[in-house]
Structure 1
Amino acid sequence: MGKERFTINPFPALALTDGEKNQLLELGRTIIEANFERDNPFFKGGRRVDPNRWKLSKERERMKVYTERPEYVGDDAMSNSSSTKLPAILSVGRVEGKLDDMMFGVVNPTLEDMRIKASYVHDFDGAAVLSTIVSPTEDEPFTSVVVKWMEMDIPLRRTGVVQNRDYVYLECTGFARMSNGDRAGYHFLHSIDFPQIPKLADRVRGDLSICGFFRQVGPNALDVCKTGLMDPAGDMIRMLAVPVMTEAFLSPLRYVHCGQMRKLTWKMEKAHAEARLHGAPNPGTACVTCSKTATGWKLGKSASTCKSCFRVVCSGCKIKKKISIVTADLALSEKKITFCSACLADASTSSAVNIAAAQIQENIRKDDISRSITSHSSSSSDLR
C-alpha cells in the first residue's frame, strides 16, 4: 500500500447544499432500514444460510463468505445478471469481542482515521474524505455520515492490462435497534454520483452497495452479517475482481482488533502527555509483571520499559504490539511497541465509548486552539 496515496485528494472540495445533505441522509436511512429488515431473520433464525441460494466462496476463522448462485431466481435475489454479471456477496459468522470495540474499529470519518483503520484492516489502498455530513459527537461517538472516495488495487494492474477501480460513496456508521431492544451496529457504503467528482483518467469508476450489521450475542461474542454488491465495471476485470471483493468481506474479522489498538494508542498517548507535563514515573528495577530483578533475568537479556506505564518489563514478560500513528508531518508510522500485560489488559477492558468521546473532546479543544491562534495572527497582521 502506497502510504502517500492517503495524503493527496485527487478532487476539488465538494460543497454540498443543505438540501443535498438532507437527501443523502434520507437515502442512507432508507437503505439501512431496508437492509436491516432483510437481514433481521439471520440474527433471529440461528444464523442459517440457504445453501440453495448461497455458495461458499471463502472461509477464515469463524467467518464464511458466500456468493449468490447465478441460477437462484427467488424474489429476494440480490444479483442482477443483466446489469452487473456479478454475484451478490454475503459474509456471516461470529467474532470475539465487544460491540463498542468493533464500532470503534469501524468508524473512520476523517482521513487520519481512514489511514489508521486501513493499516489494521487492509480494506482499501487509497482514499479521501470528500464531504462530512454528520460527525461523531461525545454523546454518539460512533455515528457518522461521510462522502468518500476510495481506490482498490486490482491484480495485474502493474502489467498495464487492467486499471485500478475507484468508488465515490456515502458511508454511514451507527446503531439500530432490534425488535427485542438489542443494539446492532451498522456499517453502510453506497455509491453516489456528483458532477463535481469526475472520473479519473487512470482509474475505472465502479459501483458498490454494502451493508454490515454486528450484534452482541455473548459476553465476548459478536454475530456478523454483511451483504452487498461491488461492480468494478468492465467485463474483462470481473474474474479478477471477485476474489478481491470476497477478501474485503472478511474485514469484520479485524474490526475489533482495530478498535482495541485505537484504545491502546489513546492510553499510551495520554500517559506520554502526562509525562511531558510532570515527568515520567520511576521505572523501578524489578519487572512490573513477574517482579524479577536484573539478577533473575536470562543471561544476555536486557529489560525494556512499558511505553504506557513506563515501568521495567523483562524480556520474558514484555509484549509487543504494532501501533499505527499519524505523525505531525502527516506520515503514517507503524511501529512495534513494548507493553506490559497489565497495561494491555487495562486498555482491553476500558470503555471504547468513553475513549472515543474523550478523543472527540480533545480534537475539539485542539481545533479551538488552532482557530484562536489563526484569529490572533490575522488580527496582529491587520494592525501592522
Structure 2
Amino acid sequence: MEFKEFRNRTAREPNTSPYPPMELTDKEKQLLRQLAKDLVAINVEEFEEFLFENNGVLPERDWEFVRRDEQVETYLRRREKYGLRGFGATKRFRRETSDTSASMSSTKSEELSSLDVADIRSIGFKDGTLEDGVYGAMSPTTDVFRTKSAYVDDKIEECNVLALIDNVSDADPFTSLTIRWRVTENPPVMRTFLKSYDHIYLEATGFTTLTNGDRISYQLLHSIDFPHLTPPLKTHSRGQVAGILFFRQIDKETVQIHGRAVFAIPFERARALFTHMVLVSMSKSCINIFFAAQMKKLRWALHERRKNSVADFVCTSCRVTHKIAEIGPDNKLYWTKVHVCPFCMTQVIKSDTSITMRSEIAAGRTTLRRKKKAKCSTRFLERGAFRPTGSDTT
C-alpha cells in the first residue's frame, strides 16, 4: 500500500505518455505476439470447458453469484477454489544491452494465491454481433481509447497507447496488438490518501475459432513489465490485471458474452472494497461495450452525412437526443448532443460494422498523409527552398 505525497506533483499533460517513446525490437515484438497467442489459447480452453463440459453454467461449488446487470451475471471465484493455470501472472521483458536480444519471464506474481487476487467472470447475452463486440472494445489510438472509456464508464482516469505492434488493416480491421498505460480511479473513500493504481499491459483484439468451428471475437488484456522502459511512477502504485472477453454469435441478432478478469488486490483489508469496485466495473463494461459500438457507429454516420451534404445533418422528426464523445483541440473530452430519430438510429445499429471500421481506417490513412504533407511543406519553407517570384535581386 502506498500513500499519496502531496508535494512534487508532475506537470505532465493528462493522457500523455509518462514515458519516452517506446521503441521495441523485432525480437520483443515477436515475443509479445506469441504471448498474446498463448494467452488466448489458454482462455479458449477454459471457455470451451464452460460451454461443452459445464453446459454454459459455472459450478456453484467454485463460483459465487454476485450481481446481475440486464442479461449479464457476474460471479466471484470462491477463495479456496483458485486455479489460474498460467493466466494472471505479469510477464517481464528483459533487454540485454550487449546484443539487443530479449527474454521473457513471469514476475514474482507467478504463483498468485487466493489472498492476492480476485478472479471474476461475467457471462450472459446481448443484442448485437461479434463485430459489434470487438469494435466497441477496441481503441487503436489514445483518443479513441479515451472516448471508448467514457462510453463504457470503466473508471479510467488517464490512458495512453504506448506502442503499436500490429495495427488494424483493411484485411484484418479488428486485429490489433498494443502496449498501453492506464490509471484506474480509486474508490471515493480512498482518493484523498491512497495513490491511484496504474497498469502497463498488453492488449490484443481479433478473432479465433473453437474446436467445433464456431468463430468468436475477443479482447485480451494482460499486465506486462518492461523494467528498462516503463519503471513504476512515484505518483502511482503499479497494479496487475489480466482479462479476456469473448463474443460468440448465438443467432443473427444475439451474442453470448464470456468475460474473465484477474485483479491483484493491493492489501487484504481492502479486499471487500476493491473487489466490489472491479465487480461492478466489469459487469457494466460487458454491457456498455455494445453501447460504445453504437455511439462510435453513430459518430461515423454523422461524419459521413456532414461530409456529403451541406444540409442539416440531424433528423427533422421524432428527435431523440444522444451524446457523442469528442476530443477537442485542447486535448479535453467534450460531449456533443445530437438528435436522431429512432428509425435512423436503428439503421446505424444494424449497419455493417466491418464497413464502418474499414472506412475509419481509410480516413485515418488520409489524415496521416495530409499531416505528413503539411509537415514536409513546413520544413521546405523553413529551409528557404521556396522563394516568391521576383524575390531575387541582381
Note the alpha carbon deviations across 1:243-268, whole angstroms, 9 max, x for none. 11112221111111111111111010
Does the CA-based 8 Å contact 2:118-2:264 persist in structure 1? Answer: no
Q: Tell me the residue number matched to 1:159.
A: 192
Q: Tell me the residue number matched to 2:368.
A: 367
Q: Tell me the residue number matched to 1:219.
A: 252
Higher alpha-carbon deviation: 349-358 or 219-228 = 219-228
Note the alpha carbon deviations across 1:32-70, whole angstroms, 9 max, x for none. 111111211223353111000001122211111111112
Higher alpha-carbon deviation: 138-147 or 353-362 = 138-147
Does the CA-based 8 Å contact 1:205-1:232 persist in structure 2? Answer: no
Q: Tell me the residue number matched to 1:344.
A: 345
Provide the secondary structure at the position in 1 that maps to 2:169: coil
The aligned amino acid for 1:143 is: T
Provide the secondary structure at the position in 2 that maps to 1:273: helix
C-alpha separation in 2, matches of 1:192 and 1:84: 21
Q: Aligned in 2, Cα 1:381/1:159: closer, same or farther, shift over 3 Å? A: closer
The aligned amino acid for 1:214 is: F
C-alpha separation in 2, matches of 1:24 and 1:76: 19
Q: Tell me the residue number matched to 1:206.
A: 239
Q: Give the C-alpha shift of residue 372 in structure 1.
A: 1.2
1:14 aligns with 2:22: yes
Identical aligned pairs, as a percentage? 26
Note the alpha carbon deviations across 1:162-207, whole angstroms, 9 max, x for none. 2211110000011111223221111111111112212111211011
The aligned amino acid for 1:206 is: G
C-alpha separation in 2, matches of 1:213 and 1:194: 27
Provide the secondary structure at the position in 2 that maps to 1:87: strand
1:248 aligns with 2:285: no
Contiguous gaps of at least 5 residues in structure 2: 1-11, 89-110, 386-394
Per the normalisation by structure 2, the TM-score is: 0.82
Q: Aligned in 2, Cα 1:312/1:82: closer, same or farther, shift over 3 Å? A: closer
1:186-201 alignment, distance < 5 Å: 186-195=218-227, 196-201=229-234
Does the CA-based 8 Å contact 2:315-2:340 persist in structure 1? Answer: no
Pick the aligned partner of 2:130 from 99, 103, 118: 99
C-alpha separation in 1, matches of 2:275 and 2:13: 24
Q: Give the C-alpha shift of residue 349 in structure 1.
A: 1.4
Pick the aligned partner of 2:77 from 68, 72, 88: 68
C-alpha separation in 2, matches of 1:253 and 1:353: 20
Equivalent pairs counted in the alignment come to: 347
1:126-165 alignment, distance < 5 Å: 126-155=158-187, 156-160=189-193, 162-165=194-197
Q: Tell me the residue number matched to 2:99.
A: none
Does the CA-based 8 Å contact 1:107-1:143 persist in structure 2? Answer: no
The aligned amino acid for 1:330 is: N
Higher alpha-carbon deviation: 84-93 or 166-175 = 84-93
Does the CA-based 8 Å contact 1:84-1:231 persist in structure 2? Answer: no
Provide the secondary structure at the position in 2 that maps to 1:174: strand
C-alpha separation in 2, matches of 1:201 and 1:110: 26
1:114 aligns with 2:145: yes
Q: Tell me the residue number matched to 1:295.
A: none
Q: Aligned in 2, Cα 1:82/1:73: closer, same or farther, shift over 3 Å? A: closer
Does the CA-based 8 Å contact 1:165-1:232 persist in structure 2? Answer: no
The aligned amino acid for 1:141 is: P
Pick the aligned partner of 2:316 from 312, 316, 319: 312
Q: Tell me the residue number matched to 1:41.
A: 49
The aligned amino acid for 2:259 is: K
C-alpha separation in 1, matches of 2:15 and 2:240: 24
Q: Aligned in 2, Cα 1:243/1:141: closer, same or farther, shift over 3 Å? A: same
Q: Aligned in 2, Cα 1:376/1:81: closer, same or farther, shift over 3 Å? A: closer
Q: Tell me the residue number matched to 1:257.
A: 291
Does the CA-based 8 Å contact 1:157-1:164 persist in structure 2? Answer: no
1:86 aligns with 2:117: yes
Provide the secondary structure at the position in 2 that maps to 1:187: strand
The aligned amino acid for 1:260 is: Q
The aligned amino acid for 2:68 is: E
Note the alpha carbon deviations across 1:75-109, whole angstroms, 9 max, x for none. 96989664753331111111121221121101112
Does the CA-based 8 Å contact 1:42-1:225 persist in structure 2? Answer: no
Provide the secondary structure at the position in 2 that maps to 1:254: helix
C-alpha separation in 1, matches of 2:148 and 2:121: 22
Note the alpha carbon deviations across 1:358-379, whole angstroms, 9 max, x for none. 0000110110111111112212
Provide runs of 4+ in structure 1 moved above 4 Å. 73-81
Pairwise CA RMSD of aligned residues? 2.2
Q: Give the C-alpha shift of residue 148 in structure 1.
A: 0.3
The aligned amino acid for 1:246 is: L
